[in-house]
Every structure is written in structure tokens, then in C-alpha cells.
Structure 1
Amino acid sequence: MTTVIREHDLEALVVGVTLLGSGGGGDSRAFGRILGRRLGSGELELLDASAVADGYLSPVGVVGATSVLAEKLPSGREFSTAVHAVSRWTGHPVGGLMSVEAGGLNGLSALVAAVDLGLPFVDADLMGRAMPRLDQFSWAVAGRSLTPCALSEPGGQIVVVDNIDPAGLERAVRSFVVHTGGWAVLALAPTPAADATADAVTGSLVRALELGRAHAGLTASAGPTDVADALGGRLLGDGRVDEVARYGGRPHGPGGAFGRGTVCVVDEPSRAVVRIETENEYLLAMVDGEPVVTTPELVCVLDRRTLKPIAVDALRTGDEVLVLALPGPDWWRHGARLSHVGPRAFGLTCDPLLLEAS
């Protein structure tokens, strides 16, 4: 099955990948505009992973501090140089692309790369949402190597990294982007299509498109429960942000600590306090001190008037919001995978709390 993306689908796709970002993943709007200019009156196919059996696929995406993209502008060559570099190193031609991450801007960045390189795009990725670390790629969790890989930064430097484990790669990438402007494009090794998608999350962008279309279909009179139902989630709170606290994190992963924070929302109907623990994404939600849902499920905060998703770093005291929980990718529910993306993987002493499977 193939899903076709046209220019009029992009607004819904931007909203959908933003919801999959669970408050993180970077601002997808810029890549939405770039993709719109690339497509024009044309179209882009999202190929179903089950229908792709031949050729080599390379997962690609942006890594580092995506917030500095507006200051350290892309040259437009980063994806092509990274893909060509890892192809030369391995000796395998890249016959198609997939994304490293479906949430936030990387839900769209790989689509831009596919259009620019003239390559097919397969709807498979290595997270199914946004998460902060490379060792949380599904390939790494499944025991696959993430190297060789190539990094290309906007100043023109290209680095190929090989023979290093996922934790070491996380540290190497963080070190590289810190010294080269804050962000870079990552291209993983060309891998036979069947192997590349076997340990990947599939169908994420189709889901993002469906979420975006459901969001676009909401009317001005839609109540909080209507919004949650339309998006296939659960309403956790409807009220005003009472407090936003941001502070330094504790080391809990191979890349070191990210900034941590807490958001408190007072639910107007019940006066219950909805507390959200945050890092790059919303990680855990509690109601009156009782944990109710955690990563890898998606905690999303929406502006109560516009219903637009609000990122972790954009949330402010006084904002009127809806707090929703949406089901996360099913891939993470199986076996020992959950321990890599559950709350304890982020230093939170709480067991995973998942929504009921549909």
C-alpha cells in the first residue's frame, strides 16, 4: 500500500509529526515549508515497508540542537553529502531512504532528503516518535550496529564513524555537533531493505497524517473530550499552567544529562493538579501525585483555544491548555524493549504506565 503526499497534505502532516514529538523533536514547521517548496504541484509516495523487498535503505535525520537551525542555516547539501559518504564507505548504493525518527522535524527532514536526492521513501523509522538519544534507536535496542554512519554539518565537514557501540556513538555525535555549530545530518549505513525494516517502527508517517487530518477536522465548538476522542487518546487535564520549573538534569544516559523540568496544570473542572515531568519531551504525567501515564506513550499539551501542540520549551506559566495522552508506538510494548524508553531510562523512579492497547 502506498500513501501519496501532496502540498495540501503538509499542514496535517506537520501537526501529526508534532504530536508524535510529545513536546520534543524540534520545530517541524520549517521543514514543512521546505518540503512544500520542493513538492510544488508534485507528489511524494510513502512506500509501505512490507512492499519493499529489494535495494539498500539508509535511515537519515538531523541530530543535535535542532533549535539552532534558525541561526546555523542548512547549506542544502548536508543530506546528499552524508548519504554519499556512508555509501562510499560501505560500497553499497543507497536505493531508498527512511527516517531515524518520526516525531518532530525528523518526521519531515528525511522526506526533504528523498525529494532532493530523487530516492524512494519508505515509511519506517527507528523510534516511531521523538526521543533524545541514539542508543534509543530501535536498531540499537534490537542489537543491531548503528555504524558505520556519516555526519555532515552545514560548514562542510564530513565525518564517518565506524566500529563503535550505540552509547559511544551517542557521545561521539554530541561532541561533533558541539564543536561544529550545534547540529548535523546523520546517515546510517545502507542496509538491505528487509533487514532495515525488520527492526524498525513502520507506518509512523501514515499515522501522523491521520492524526493531522483528525486534528484539522475539529471544529471551534469541540470540547476537551471531543479533542481527545478525535485523536484516539485520553484527556488528562483542561486548565491553566500554574508553574513551569526548569533545572539541570542528572546523568542517566550515555550522552549525559539533558535539561529537566516540571510543569503543573490545574484542571478547571476538578481542580486536580496535573504534573508533567519533562526533558526534551514530556515523559510522565501525574494527577494529584498519582502517576497515570509515562513514556513511551505520547503526552501532548495543546493550546486550549487554537488546539495547536505546544513544545516543552515553549510552554509558559498562564497558558491555557489541554493535556492529552496518546498511544505510543506498539513496537516498544514488546519484550525488553520497554526498559530502553520507559521512565527509568530517563532517571525517573517509576514503572511504565501504558494506555490500554486498542
Structure 2
Amino acid sequence: MGQREGRDGGVTRLQADDATVLGRGAALLGCGGGGRVDHMVSALRLALGDRTVPVVDLDDPGLVSVAAVGLVGSTTVLEEKMPSGHELPDALAAVERWTGVRADAVVAAQIGGVTGPAAALTAHASGLPLVDADLVGRAAPRIDQLSVFVGAMPSVTAAASTTSGLRIVVDAPDPHDLETVWREAVSHSGGWAAFAIGPLPVALLRERAVVGSVDRAMRIGRASDGARDAEHLAARIGGRVVAQGRVVDVGRGGDALAFVHSSMAIRDDRTGAVARVEAGSEYVHCLVDGLPVASTPSVITVVDARSLEPVATDRTRVGNELAVLVLPSAPWWWADPRRTERVAPRAYGVDADVVPEGIA
């Protein structure tokens, strides 16, 4: 394995050999959303070559301001209209020009899905270290769900860069305004965009970021390699299997909060129980024989029962043989009810209460 460990065993740099491992972990933390990681992983591996990206903690004395980067819009369009490689660095440069503040490092807006390796690629392209943290601990569909926006902020400055070369800089007193403006603009400008938020004071991130996210993705990616079956995979990555079997029903529709809504039923091969998984852009809530067993903010991820590859919410089909896994969420979300509420099922348009972690 190319990455080297230090700082209490955590990753201290990424090199080309680590791209696949990071991507594998990010895909599982994508919770069925966040976009496919394959192309971004390939781009990261190619860009790194024989070079490395330093990975630093938020308590690094060299950090003053950190920019959060990510992607907004349709991940389906992203697969069809691939990044040129300039969008994320352009967004970062735009927000630095507007604020007059240089970023000392880059942090992933969310570790789940394509944004995890994309943040590492942005750090490399900008000559900056990558922070071992993110603002969700998994994937989330909306910008206003990022952890930095839980609690008062004087304002937020952010820039988006579209595939057509359009750059949009927004100074917003409310993250909901940022979400609304960008979604509207992106829908008419290519379907997706790269964004950069900040640069944010490192003191704020120390209070509100989910720490250790890059290291967690790497550990999950390493542990998942060579898993024999779903139970073995769950044991190796610190989760549990709540259902495994054939899909017997799938329904899809629209949703104002999560943009899409789907519901999938699986008949468990082992017990005969019927598990139902509700999803927005990500898997959100799971019941077995009508009893809730898992919900956001826990990490609910679905894998193919044979290949153990993650399966996106929009790619489930009747007849698929799948396994539903649940991993613990970042403790940050449970520390305050206001935080939990931001990523509870109802925040994704699913009318259900939060299921505490550890419910069998």
C-alpha cells in the first residue's frame, strides 16, 4: 500500500497506489449516491504519478484557512459529461480572488462518492495539502446539510464553476440561498458544477468538521478488498448486514428535498423477512418486517451480493440479489439534536424518525 501512516496510525499522504483504495472506501460511504468514483479515481492515479498529496489534521499549526470543495448537480450527467480537470481548481481560484483569502489546505465537502477522490485531485492540482476531515462523514444531497452550516454563521462565500466555463460567486447570509441559486444555475449550465466554499477559518472547522474522514475511507477501502461475502465485508469494515436477498419491488418518484425518491423491498434469503429501504439521492431508512432497523445519519449502503460492489439508488432493479449494510455514522452528528435533525430521514423527505445506532 502506497500511503504511509503516522499521527496515531492515520494516513499522512496519498500516492497513486492509494487512489483505488480511497475510491473504494468513498464509494461505500456514498450510501448509494455521490456519483460513480471510477473516472475520478483514474484521473487521480494518473495525475499523481510518482508524486504525493500531503494529508494533514485540522490541528496542524500551518493551517489558518481551509477551502471546502465538492460537486453539485446531477451525478448522472456527471457520468456522461466528464470533468475537464479545470472545474474544481477554477472554483477554488475564484473564491480566493473574491475573498482575497488564500487557502492553506483543501477539505472534501463530503467524503462519500466522487467528491472524496475529487478533493484529493484538487489538492494536488492546487499544490495544497488535503485535510483528514470532511463536512458530512458520508454523502448528502444538499449543500445546506454540510456540517459547517449547523449553527450560526455570519455569511458564506462560495464559487461554482460549470462545464461550460461559467463561474458563479455567491455571498449568502443563508446556506439555503446558496443551495437554491446554485441548483437553478447549474440546471441551465450543463447539469453539474464544481464548487469551493470559504476559505473557512480553521477554528470553525475544528468545531464543525467530521474529522478522520480520509483515514476512514482508506481503512474501509483496504478492509473491503478481498472480502468473501457480505457478512465478511460488513465485519471487516465495522458494519452489519441487515438484509440480504432478492429485490421483489422497486418504486421511484420525485421529491422536493432529496430530488428523487425510491423504495425497494428485499426478501431476505436467510430469514424470509421483507426489508424495505427508502432512499432519496442516498439510502435513508430501512425497515425489516415493518420495524425500523437503521436510518440516517447512520451509513446505509447496498452492495451486489456476489461482486460486493456498491449499488446506486437509481440502479436497483427487481430480481437483483443485494445486501444492505449499515455502518456507524460520524459521532459528530449525534452530539447535538440540532445536528441530528439536519441529517434525519425527514431532512431527506422520508417521513420517519431517526433510528439510534445499534438497533438490531
- In structure 2, the partner of 1:48 is 57
| 1:261 partner letter | S
2:43 pairs with 1:31 = no
Report the Cα distance in structure 2 between the residues aligned to 1:276 and 1:69, rounded to whole angstroms. Answer: 25
- In structure 1, the partner of 2:4 is none
| 1:102 partner letter | I
Contact 1:139 1:145 in 2 (8 A): no
Change (3 A) 1:180 1:292: same
- In structure 1, the partner of 2:295 is 294
Q: How does 1:87-98 map to 2 (within 5 A)?
A: 87-98=96-107
Report the Cα distance in structure 1 between the residues aligned to 2:12 and 2:117, rounded to whole angstroms. Answer: 15
- In structure 1, the partner of 2:325 is 324
Q: How does 1:36-185 map to 2 (within 5 A)?
A: 36-144=45-153, 147-185=156-194
| 1:354 partner letter | P
Q: How does 1:300-339 map to 2 (within 5 A)?
A: 300-335=301-336, 336-339=338-341
| 2:289 partner letter | D
Report the Cα distance in structure 2 between the residues aligned to 1:141 and 1:199, rounded to whole angstroms. Answer: 8
Query: In structure 1, the residue corresponding to 2:168 is in which secondary structure?
Result: strand
Displacement of 1:145: 5.1
Displacement of 1:223: 4.5
Report the Cα distance in structure 1 between the residues aligned to 2:301 and 2:59, rounded to whole angstroms. Answer: 30
Displacement of 1:166: 0.9
2:239 pairs with 1:239 = no
Report the Cα distance in structure 2 between the residues aligned to 1:333 and 1:23, rounded to whole angstroms. Answer: 22
Structure 1 residue runs of 5 or longer lacking an equivalent are: none
| 2:306 partner letter | R
- In structure 2, the partner of 1:208 is 217
Contact 2:287 2:294 in 1 (8 A): yes
Q: How does 1:331-350 map to 2 (within 5 A)?
A: 331-335=332-336, 336-350=338-352
Displacement of 1:276: 0.1
Change (3 A) 1:178 1:40: same
Contact 1:265 1:273 in 2 (8 A): yes
- In structure 2, the partner of 1:195 is 204
Contact 2:254 2:261 in 1 (8 A): yes
Report the Cα distance in structure 2 between the residues aligned to 1:97 and 1:188, rounded to whole angstroms. Answer: 10
Report the Cα distance in structure 1 between the residues aligned to 2:214 and 2:271, rounded to whole angstroms. Answer: 36
Report the Cα distance in structure 1 between the residues aligned to 2:217 and 2:239, rounded to whole angstroms. Answer: 14
| 1:73 partner letter | M
Report the Cα distance in structure 2 between the residues aligned to 1:167 and 1:48, rounded to whole angstroms. Answer: 29
- In structure 1, the partner of 2:270 is 269
| 2:252 partner letter | R
TM-score, structure 1 length as denominator? 0.93
Report the Cα distance in structure 2 between the residues aligned to 1:153 and 1:52, rounded to whole angstroms. Answer: 34
Report the Cα distance in structure 2 between the residues aligned to 1:239 and 1:70, rounded to whole angstroms. Answer: 28
- In structure 1, the partner of 2:3 is none
Moved over 4 A (4+): none
Report the Cα distance in structure 2 between the residues aligned to 1:72 and 1:302, rounded to whole angstroms. Answer: 25
Report the Cα distance in structure 2 between the residues aligned to 1:231 and 1:75, rounded to whole angstroms. Answer: 33
How many residues are matched? 349
Displacement of 1:294: 0.4
Displacement of 1:356: 3.1
Displacement of 1:317: 1.4
Query: 1:216-238 CA deviation, whole Å, 9 max, x = no partner?
Result: 042xxx35432221121111112
Query: 1:204-227 CA deviation, whole Å, 9 max, x = no partner?
Result: 111011011110042xxx354322
Query: 1:234-290 CA deviation, whole Å, 9 max, x = no partner?
Result: 1111211111111122x3x4xxx5111101111011110010001100000000111
TM-score, structure 2 length as denominator? 0.92
- In structure 2, the partner of 1:20 is 29
Contact 1:52 1:194 in 2 (8 A): no
Contact 2:229 2:305 in 1 (8 A): no
Query: In structure 1, the residue corresponding to 2:22 is in which secondary structure?
Result: helix
Displacement of 1:27: 0.8
Q: Percent identity?
A: 39
Report the Cα distance in structure 1 between the residues aligned to 2:277 and 2:168, rounded to whole angstroms. Answer: 38
